Chains A and B, each alone.
Chain A
Amino acid sequence: MEPKLSDYKTEVHNDWCPGCGDFGIVNAIQMALTEMKVPRHKAAIFSGIGCSGKTSHFINIFGIHTLHGRVLTFAQGAKLANPEMTIVVAGGDGDGLGIGAGHFVAAGRRNVDMAYIIFNNAVYGLTKGQASPTLQLGLKTKSLPQPNVNQSVNPIGLAIASGFTFVGRGYSYDVRQLKDLIIAAVKHKGLAFLDVLQPCPTYNDINTRDWFAGLDNIDQTTRKSQPRIYKLEDTGYDPVVHYGSEEEVNEKLTQALVKSNEWDTKIPTGIFYQNELVAPYEQRIADRIPNYLENPPAAQPISAGGKPITDISKILDSLQV
């Protein structure tokens, strides 16, 4: 039987604020799973802590709601032990780029085959609106006692510098594009990162839905508002590394970095960078352990009749006096 969208939804009450951008992301994930026809028991969503952390409870696949900042570590362990699983990771901006930034960088270096979505709203919502690592310097969102005193981190740039092999950005109010980006991220062979702009209607009164729509961004000649969000694909941008020459890789990395710096009046969405010529971590293991992919840890029998079946005699022989 063909899976339906409703199959991927749980009956858990969703307690996000009305108008929260997170709804668009959870819908897009469910739509992507439906479209890819991933069997429910072959997929898992790992989430961090914060509003975004609750995502795993709303999706009817294995749902692992982990700890603040640590979601990538749990997810990588699971994927390496059972590489057959389709794994989607969901976390907040504070979760992934503040408390979990070390894991973000290390995960990029490994390139484990998963998709990692950051719900980026520039504030810590669940603790009442403190500045997150993606809030711009000097901005004072409504519950901040003083303007933000830190520079913001550039998530796309950091992902590229860390070695993520798929780097993209979506917008939670463009669910269709976001669904396509999630499918591309999941299908990508390696670690895919999606920065999803997601207005927080309660605490971020600056980067609002109207702000992204550019209602304040008036073109001086036409006197019309200019949407900030635009799609890279509409500009003929090619994010893909096709051949892997040093020159080509440098060019693709550089254009992605340049694009990642656009923000105030034009904000690009879509795929910034994709390179499937870098071996995923699983392949690097399989190069050493030839039967890893067909006989991974989760599939290995370890006992028969309650007794070990691993043969340790060679190791013991080497220690024999």
Chain B
Amino acid sequence: MQSTDITWVIGGPQGSGVETAANIFAGACAGMGLKIFGKREFYSNIKGEHSYFAVRVSDKKIRSNVSNITMLVAFDAETIFRHANDVYSEGAIVYDSELVQIKTDEVSTLDEPFKSRLTNLLSSKNKEYTIQGMIDLCKDRGVQLYPVSFKGILANLAEEMQNPKLRNMFRMLNVIAVSVSLGLLGLSPATLLKSVESVFSSKPQIAEMNKQAANYSYNFAAVKFPKFKYALQSVQKEPNTILVQGYQATGIGKIACGCRFQSYYPITPASDESVFLESHEVFDVKNNRPGSTIVVQTEDEISAIGMVIGASLTGTRSATSTSGPGFSLMAESLGWAGINEVPIVVTLYQRSGPSTGLPTRHGQDDLMFAIHAGHGDFPRIVYASGDIEESFYDTGKCFNFAEIFQMPVIHMMDKFIASTVATCKRFDPDLITIDRGKLLEKIDNDVYKRFAFTEDGISPRSKLGLENGIFWNTGDESDENGHISEDPVNRVQMMNKRASKLDLVLKTIPKEDQAVSYGVSEFCIVSWGSNKGPILDALEMLKKEGINIGFIQIKLLQPFPTDHVKSLLKGAKTIIDIEANQSAQLASLLNEYLDKKVDYYILKYTGRPMTCTEIYDSLKKILEKKAEKKQVLTFGA
């Protein structure tokens, strides 16, 4: 049997149901037992700008997107202008046949820099600056074309259903487009209808109408056109598979590991997680009353972190989720949590900075900021997840770290993970351990000192409301009771007490949680965060050619696990740093802490995540000794 690995892209104006269409597609494919990896790209805009969803579908494990498109589905002109050139020569385009006369100048959302690159391309091939020109360009390359009048389908449907209102239900064009494409891909209609029903499950009437449209469009395509050569075939469904987005994974992780307070200020791409938590604020607890998470939308991020600290002082596992601009506002309070040894978790969904940057786009620009945010010296943990599944389990670990070591933990996520939808193994809460460190439930006598000097630097922790456990906190330097102290000897003892916890972190956190080795060879990649997926997929592509490249994923970034990474890299001769920022922030850590220096850099800061294709190509150049020291990746609309 031919193996399946296709990339299906749907695009359209924001607010036109692109995401819904993609969810129907992904749900249908997942229902056939196929693996899904989808990413969403959108502008900082509510309605009208171009957004698209790229869904990769395979019968094998996939962890990233590829660069090229197998089937492009466009129900507007801009999607064709922006993506048609990325369609494989053996690929296909499903497009609205009524759009062919549209000129580049008529699409007001095509920005000038893109338009001039596009018209240069079209004129170099002697094509007119229209959709027809784009289509002709693709036709010359052998791309299969499926012109469809989507509005015509709607009109015919209205007639068949004897419901003239349907004629103007342009909101359903998305469902029509996805259904046509699934008709061409030969997926079973029952799977499609089930997926439509599930996507519209909260609105039964709308679900019914869309099912009719889906069914009609599917049959239309199946009858009118020969089946596309890369047809989808169902495979044995792996049991316990879920289709999940990144922000849901951390959200579920928080619920599972006992986070009971979350405050946030709306910011892309972090607030989806808080909204998810609020939607699931009440849940069952084994052998107990129902539990709940209090989710508070605050007036700003300063308030969000202040509330988290206050809640944590009551012994409640507490967190906030934010992105770079919000984290900037949290810096002062982070130091307060540091000096007062308050366990808090900040889930930091990075996006492209600086300032507002590319607010809806991916980036890993905040590693150095997370490590250094706040004035003064205080310990914190910076921990990065590599993919959706990791982020579920890591969320539990981050809360343990916060409580065991009594310090703020910054859990690094990013826009790529947050808005990726992927099939993965159903999360197993039994694999989570809850370790609350030295949190006290009872104190017998009244001599409690919150910051008592101890051998391991960690003092038993009381909480607001605990009898005999009264303590004081202050942002000033303090004595063991927590009262202000400017004594120079006490100052040194307290600074050393807090700093010593960083050594304990490195001694206590299991090595495999600090940095993960996927094999080491002469050439070895070192990377962090969501680059993991495209790197592993690229390495698999190379392996098929008999080439082995090593890969070390660093998860614990502060304190830096120098000894462990050094020992992992023993066999490596050439170090390749891969990350999604301009200044190679991880590399600066590697160059600081390791004996070896980074030899090659593969960086991307267009705001779009890396594809495995790009990484594969860059690695090949390095292996063939054709690479510059620094390669900058640029693929993606």
A residues with CB within 8 A of B: 10, 12, 39-42, 44, 46, 49, 54, 56-57, 60-67, 70, 72-82, 84-85, 102-103, 105-106, 285, 288-289, 291-292, 295-298, 300-304, 306-312, 314-316, 319-321
Contacts and interface: CB of A to CB of B under 8 A. Distances in A.
B281 A81 contact: no
Contacts of A304: 286-287
B294 A41 contact: no
A302 B465 contact: no
A80 B257 contact: no
5 contacts: A66-B336, A73-B303, A73-B304, A106-B298, A309-B285
Contacts of A72: 303, 306
A40 B467 CA distance: 8
Closest 10 CB pairs of A and B: A73-B306, A302-B258, A77-B310, A77-B307, A106-B299, A297-B260, A81-B311, A303-B434, A78-B310, A65-B474
A78 B311 contact: yes
A307 B429 CA distance: 8
Nearest to B239: A320
Contacts of A74: 306-307, 309-310, 313
A64 B427 CA distance: 39
A155 to B, nearest CB: 18
A65 B465 contact: no
B31 interface: yes
A312 B283 contact: yes
A301 B288 contact: yes
Interface stretch (B77-85, B248-256, B566-574, B583-591): B248-256
A102 B300 contact: yes
Contact of B472 (A49, A57, A79, A320): A57
Contact of B243 (A56, A292, A321): A321
A75 B310 contact: yes
Nearest to B469: A41
Interface stretch (B3-11, B95-103, B134-142, B314-322): B314-322
Contacts of A302: 257-258, 260, 291, 317, 434
A297 to B, nearest CB: 4
Interface string B231-275: 000000100111110001000100111101101000000000000
B274 to A, nearest CB: 15
B452 to A, nearest CB: 17
B282 interface: yes
A311 B258 contact: no
A235 B285 CA distance: 56
B128 interface: no
B298 to A, nearest CB: 7
Given A65-B473, A288-B281, A308-B258, A103 B303 contact: yes
B95 to A, nearest CB: 29
B430 interface: yes
A291 B292 CA distance: 9
Contacts, number: 242
B282 to A, nearest CB: 6
Contacts of B469: 41
Nearest to A319: B242
B280 interface: yes
A46 B11 CA distance: 52
A310 B429 contact: yes
Given A285-B294, A309-B288, A40 B306 contact: no
A296 B293 CA distance: 9
A44 B464 contact: yes
A306 B283 CA distance: 19
A17 to B, nearest CB: 17
Interface string B467-478: 111111111100
A81 B333 contact: no
B286 to A, nearest CB: 4
B435 A306 contact: yes
Nearest to A320: B242
Interface in B444-472: 463-472
Given A84-B465, A316-B252, A319-B242, A77 B258 contact: no
B287 A78 contact: no
Main secondary structure of the interface of A (DSSP, over half): mixed
Contacts of A295: 289-292
Contacts of A310: 255-258, 283-286, 291, 429
Contact of A85 (B248, B292, B318, B465): B465
Given A81-B261, A310-B286, 6 more contacts: A64-B310, A65-B475, A297-B294, A310-B257, A315-B280, A316-B426
A66 to B, nearest CB: 7
B308 interface: yes
A82 B241 CA distance: 38
B49 interface: no
Given A41-B467, A64-B313, A298-B463, A77 B475 contact: no
A66 B396 CA distance: 28
B292 to A, nearest CB: 5
A25 B291 CA distance: 40
A308 B256 contact: yes
B475 A76 contact: no
User: Which of A49, A66, A285, A296 is most buried by chain B, counting CB atoms within 10 A of its CB?
Assistant: A66
Nearest to B259: A302
B255 A315 contact: yes
Contacts of B396: 308
A87 to B, nearest CB: 9
Contacts of B315: 298
Contacts of B284: 310-311, 314
A276 B292 CA distance: 27
A179 B125 CA distance: 86
Interface in B289-347: 289-294, 296, 298-300, 302-318, 332-333, 336
Interface string B413-434: 0000000000100110110111
A79 B316 CA distance: 11
Contacts of A288: 281
Contacts of A102: 299-300, 303
Contact of A41 (B434, B435, B468): B468
B168 to A, nearest CB: 33
B543 to A, nearest CB: 28
Given A41-B465, A295-B291, A289 B309 contact: no
A289 B475 CA distance: 34
Contact of B244 (A80, A298, A319): A319
B282 A321 contact: no
Contact of B471 (A62, A81, A292): A62
Contacts of B432: 307-308
A79 B464 CA distance: 10
Given A67-B475, A81-B294, A319-B244, A312 B310 contact: no
Residue among A81, A285, A312, A320 with max Cβ neighbours from chain B (10 Å)? A81
A44 B426 CA distance: 43
A292 B237 CA distance: 41
A106 B296 CA distance: 12
Contact of A300 (B31, B291, B483): B291
B4 to A, nearest CB: 16
B484 interface: yes
A277 to B, nearest CB: 23
Contact of A308 (B31, B304, B429, B466): B429
B530 to A, nearest CB: 20
Interface in B22-56: 27, 30-31
Contacts of A44: 464
Contact of A315 (B252, B296, B308, B336): B252
Contacts of A312: 252, 255-256, 283, 427, 429
A292 B291 CA distance: 8
